[in-house]
Amino acid sequence: MNKSMNIFRISTVLTLCLLVFLIFNFSFIFADEGTSTTETNPEDAETILPPETILASFGNQTITLGEFNQIWEEVPEEYKLQLDKSMVLDQMISEKLLIQEAINMGLEKDNDVLEQIEKITEQILVQVLIEKEILDKVKVNDEEVLEYYEQSKDSFTEKEQVHLYNILVETEEEAQDILEQLIAGANFSEIAIEKSIGPSAAQGGDLEYIAKGTIIPEIEEVIFALELEELSKVVKTDFGFHILKITEKKPETVKTFEEVKEEIIQTLLPTKQKEAFDNLLEELKGKAEIEINEEALR
């Protein structure tokens, strides 16, 4: 079955299923919670029926196991949580009955229907053309991915980081007094909770990991020169007076090519696809003799 037509049909069946589900079966999930309606015993599981097996027959119509499985396998997993197979089969039967009734009424010859069918057909034709000539053909090769990786290594680089603790107070005198207490053995986090006016005070001064280039220069210059657990001198900024220490360091790292390969492909692919699409349109326009009535266009 054509992929586009199959998606369209699945959408129709799901719409019918969910409509019936929402109107008549909203309590179904809660009433049967924890019980699978599709469980089979081991003997049934071992039986593999051929796809031409008749699953349902009505009038002169049938639904085969293969036809049903093709629809069921395409149902998104989130819908399968709400629907069981019997519901989907019931709606496939309903769909066929509704189509047959429309044919019996001669609706396939109705001008409005024919116009809508023509529009849908045109949309499907364009979609399939794009799938075959753009989506299926346009790929990003390894050379392009590697070139992008080499040219964009900065974006795949995790800068050096430190786990920073901060005590912020309003005056230099208070900061010096606190620094002397810390040097004498006072607990940094306890003083931060008690004295600091910074946003991290409640967390004992913990600012978590700070990467190079993400904090004001006056502090960055100090903290990336500190040793682990070393106390800084009092540092003045526009916010006040700081006492800083770091407890951990993470060196600068660059993600490997393999780590980011798929990410790069997904970055480059849309641009290549658009370029191919634009080229296809230019080629088609170049072959056609297009005349535009500019006066009528105004």
Strand order in the sheet with 235-237: 206-211, 161-169, 240-250, 235-237
Whole-prediction pTM value?
0.56
Instruction: Sketch out the chain's domains with CATH numbers.
Output: 3-105 (no CATH), 160-251 (3.10.50.40)
How far is Cα 129 from Cα 5, in angstroms, rounded to an integer? 14
| Three-state helix/strand/coil letters over 40-59 | CCHHHHHCCCCCCCEEEEEC
pLDDT digits (tens, 9 = 90+) for 270-294: 999 999 999 999 999 999 989 999 9
pLDDT digits (tens, 9 = 90+) for 126-158: 999 999 999 999 999 999 999 999 999 888 999
Amino acid at 42: P
Which pLDDT score, from 0 to 100, does residue 33 have?
Answer: 39
Which ranges constitute the DSSP H helices of the chain?
3-24, 28-31, 42-46, 65-74, 77-80, 85-104, 111-130, 142-151, 172-183, 188-195, 217-223, 257-287, 294-297
Residue 39 has pLDDT above 80, yes or no: no
